[in-house]
A and B are shown apart, each in its own frame.
Chain A
Amino acid sequence: MTADAPVLDVAELKTTFFNRGRPAEVVNGISFSVGRGEILGLIGESGSGKTVTGLSILRLLPEHAEVKAKHIRFGHHELAGMSDSDFAALRGTELAMIFQDPVGSFNPAKTIGWNLRHAMARRGARRAKKEEVWQTDPLHLLQEMGIRAPDRTIDAYPHQLSGGMLQRVLIGMVLALRPQLIVADEPTTNLDNLVERQILDLIRHHQRRLGVSVLFITHDLTIARDLCDRIAVMYAGEIVEIGPVSAVLDDPQHPYAVSLLRTARSLERREASLFELPGEPGRDARERSGCRFAGRCPSVIQPCRTEHPALVGVSPQHQARCLLHAQ
């Protein structure tokens, strides 16, 4: 196996929702890849299409959504066009997910112990040669996830645990199946800062230990800065900037990325008034013929309103979708 082959390689992913026959494009032909052992952050605000991107890959969208892609390569599988039954075997085992609200991932009528054993039973034929005990024994698993009283937790029901505890259990459940890729969608948004920090540490610790790849979807740049190796910033259904996290955050090229960063920084520095970008993405951004950010961009020039910019390389790894940087 080549060390270079990415775990996930998405090309021209396009997702459209149909409302009474009328199409509404949510993700507009984006391309990105997640390397082996890498954490890629997908950053965007509400309406950017970041969550739908994750759900598209996981095939968790409702009936009236249409997902198209040139290819979605996952390891040596081609996901686009794969049968539902083949995909069902992959999802939840090799291709795992962690959502904002962990409650939905548990059977509420069963104890945590039951839920864990039920999940672990999916391992079945996928046993590795050297088994780590924590991956087969629920008690050890909970201990590995930093839960102090695993015997009490095993017998508890999901509703008896706090959000942070449930998220810990869920992460353990997911990791026990040794996935190649985890799609995590805002897993800490509902949690208080202290708990959030612990959960992020937990993810990072085990991610490094096991070499799992992660597609981490969030609106929070500060989390991305701490956790991710590379990030892709989304706006109105497109990737507007992508690159190594230090490159994008130290030297952002796209005006939207610049403004996100300025806002995050002004909060940290306790400025007298926070930097704010006026307006909101709005539905009409996607209908625009030129650049989708032109309506709010502080650096807008005339061509922006008619010409749709392509992703252009600022450097080999770092690209931005902006006419100001087109060579």
Chain B
Amino acid sequence: MRIEKVTLDFAAQSRGANALRALDDISLDIAAGEIIGLVGESGSGKTTLGKALLGMYPARSGHIWYEGVDVTAAALRQRRRDLQMVFQDPLSSFNPRFRIGASIALPLRMHGICRRKDLKAQVGKLLERVGLSADCAHRFPHELSGGQLQRVAIARVLGIQPKLIVADEAVSKLDVSVRAQVLNLLKTINRDIKVSIVFITHDLSVARFLCDRVAVMYIGRIVELGPTESIFADPKHPYTRRLLEARRSQAIRDSAEEPTDLLLAGRSIDRSAGCDYRDRCPVRIRRCEVERPDLEGASNDRSFACFNPRGDDARTRAAAR
């Protein structure tokens, strides 16, 4: 998929309020078979971007191309087959009155993938593929645990043989050991059938395990992009470094740390002048106040949007360890 200079605004919710710019000039290519992470806090736009990939938001500037066709113009049926989503809350993504087997079978029938007489066997195979027993098909969603349901969600998606899966915080609500099972499953599936995965998360550790590349997002823009290990070894953007610190158990505390409140920040931020991150940035220089950095490449697929990536402070040295 190719995302080209996409900007997306949500209309103002109340009188006098500004429109919310959820995505601001985003460009990104997604290769077949790759796992790319969209990492950021609430309000970063990562979920909006994930949904936009599926053609769920028509009103925007820029383009999102899927196999050369604008994704909102692409034939709905084909798009729905190739581009799929797994949601954060497994329980609300299933019709509570359908048995599990019926929920998995429905898209198979809709897309004509499977003949009626083969459905039961196919559903059984899909359940086993994700590590569940075939007789789960008789249960109702409320009878399964969060981890089991999330696996069913993956089985349902797999049945359609998609080209790309958007997983929106798919493991955030799961306990640690269940999380491990689902992450292992996603990795295996990607290896086996080469489906692309766009993995949306606020948790960098999870992104590190699963993703080949990571795009770090901040208030609607990508601030750093590149191969996962490279970003972890040498984060360039100060916000990336900040996220890496939070992940450590013995993080270095900054006594002047401002409380994060991105949702409010995103609304009140003055986007016309300077870098969006300047108010919180520990290595801000004069240029950051007046000019806005673009995402620019250094070398080997690394790019970042910062005028002072090597800014010196204790945290940079520590986070780079």
Instruction: Give A contacts to B, CB under 8 Å.
Output: 45-47, 146-148, 162-165, 168, 192-198, 201, 219-222, 225-226, 259-260, 263-264, 266-268, 270-271, 273-277, 280
Q: Which of A147, A219, A274 contacts B175 (CB 8 A)?
A: A219
B30 interface residue per 8 A CB criterion: no
Q: Is B299 an interface residue (CB 8 A)?
A: no
Indicate if the CB atoms of B41 and A194 lie closer than 8 Å: yes
User: Which segment, of B64-72, B107-115, B243-251, faces chain A?
Assistant: B243-251
Judge whether A148 and B246 touch: CB under 8 Å. Answer: no
Once the chains are docked, how many angstroms separate the CA of A62 from the CA of B260? 36
Q: Is the CB of A267 within 8 A of B206?
A: yes
B257 touches A222 (CB 8 A): no
Q: Which of A198, A271, A277 contacts B257 (CB 8 A)?
A: A198
The reply to whether the CB of B81 lies closer than 8 angstroms to some CB of chain A is no
The contact of A162 among B147, B175, B206, B264, by CB within 8 Å, is B264
Query: B180 and A263: CB pair below 8 A?
Result: yes
Is B85 engaged at the interface, CB distance under 8 Å to the other chain? Answer: no
Residues of A with C-beta under 8 A to B260: 164, 192, 194-195, 198
A196 and B261 CA atoms in complex are apart in Å by 12
Q: Is the CB of B184 within 8 A of A276?
A: yes
What are 25 A-B contacts with C-beta separation under 8 Å? A45-B177, A45-B178, A146-B259, A162-B262, A162-B263, A164-B259, A192-B260, A193-B202, A194-B202, A219-B175, A219-B176, A220-B176, A222-B249, A259-B177, A260-B177, A263-B177, A264-B176, A267-B205, A270-B209, A273-B187, A274-B180, A274-B184, A277-B177, A280-B145, A280-B178
Contacts of B263 in A (CB 8 A): 162
Question: Cβ of B146 and Cβ of A46 under 8 Å apart?
Answer: yes
Asked if B148 is at the interface (CB within 8 A of a chain A CB), the reply is yes
Indicate which residue in A148, A192, A275 contacts B42 across the interface (CB closer than 8 Å).
A192
Binding site for A on B (CB under 8 A): 41-43, 145-148, 175-178, 180-181, 183-184, 187, 202-206, 208-209, 242-243, 246-247, 249-251, 253, 257-264
Q: For A164, what are the chain B residues with a Cβ–Cβ distance below 8 Å? A: 259-261
Complexed CA–CA distance, A270 and B264 (Å)? 34
B288 to chain A, nearest CB (A): 20
Contact (A266, B180) CB under 8 Å given A162-B263, A193-B204: yes
Partner of A280, one of B148, B251, B258, B264: B148
Bound: A162/B247 CA distance, A? 21
CA–CA, A201 and B252, complex, Å? 11
What separation, in Å, do the CA atoms of A220 and B206 have in the docked complex?
A: 14
**Chain B interface SS verdict (over half):** helix
Are A46 and B145 closer than 8 Å at their CB atoms?
yes
Residues on B with beta carbons closer than 8 Å to the beta carbon of A266? 180
Q: Shortest beta-carbon distance, A242 to chain B, in Å?
A: 19
By a CB distance below 8 angstroms, the chain B residues around A47 are: 145
- 12 new A-B contacts, CB < 8 A, other than A193-B204, A197-B246, A268-B205, are A162-B263, A164-B259, A165-B259, A165-B264, A194-B246, A221-B176, A226-B250, A260-B176, A267-B180, A267-B205, A273-B187, A280-B145
Please determine whether B261 and A263 come into contact, CB atoms closer than 8 angstroms.
Answer: no
* Cα A219 to Cα B179 with chains together (Å): 12
Which residues on A sit within 8 Å (CB–CB) of B262? 162
Q: In the complex the two chains form, what is the Cα distance from A140 to B304 in whole Å?
A: 40
State A224–B136 Cα separation when bound (angstroms): 35
- Residue from the set A192, A222, A267, A271 with the largest chain B CB neighbour count within 10 Å: A192
**Whole-angstrom distance from the CB of A169 to the nearest CB of chain B?**
11
Residues of A within 8 A of B202 (CB): 192-194
Pairwise interchain contact A274-B209, C-beta atoms closer than 8 A: yes
Point out the residue from A147, A165, A270, A276 that lies within 8 Å of B181, measured CB to CB.
A276
